[in-house]
């Protein structure tokens, strides 16, 4: 994993903290601040900038974000996910009329 954290106060880059074990790594979902968050995906790992640790955002109902795509919005540090699509047994797509809220620790 590559990347870094920019320290605005010291005006320098720091390395990312070590990631979770390889067998549990599904990619970066976003970053978690003390009062807010930025989510790129609705599941995966969040970098908690305050503690420099990783927090797992579990896949909603066992399905990962990459398919089907879902709409998401941030409420403070929490993640509200809604909609998307799934394939039925015949391989046809159907819209999902569901929503969920994941509360950041």
Label the pairing between strands 44-48 and 28-32.
parallel
20-57: b (≥16 Cβ within 10 Å) or e:
eeeeeebebbbebeeeebebebbbbbbbbeeeeebbeb
Task: Name the pLDDT band for 8 (thresholds 50, 70, 90).
Answer: confident
- More confident of the two residues 22 and 54: 54
Task: Name the pLDDT band for 98 (thresholds 50, 70, 90).
Answer: confident
For the chain, the average pLDDT equals: 82
As a whole number, mean pLDDT of residues 29-48 equals 90
Which 3 state secondary structure label does DSSP give 57?
strand
Is 60 a residue whose pLDDT tops 80? no
- Length of the chain, please? 105
């Amino acid at each position: 994993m590559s990347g870094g954290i920019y320290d605005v106060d010291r005006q320098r880059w720091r390395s990312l903290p070590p990631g979770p074990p390889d067998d549990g790594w599904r990619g970066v979902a976003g970053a978690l601040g003390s009062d807010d968050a930025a989510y790129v995906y609705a599941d995966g790992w969040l970098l908690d900038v305050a503690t420099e640790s990783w927090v797992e955002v579990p896949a909603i109902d066992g399905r990962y974000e990459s398919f089907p795509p879902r709409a998401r919005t941030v409420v403070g540090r929490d993640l509200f996910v809604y909609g998307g699509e799934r394939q039925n047994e015949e391989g046809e797509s159907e819209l999902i009329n569901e929503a969920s809220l994941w509360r950041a620790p």
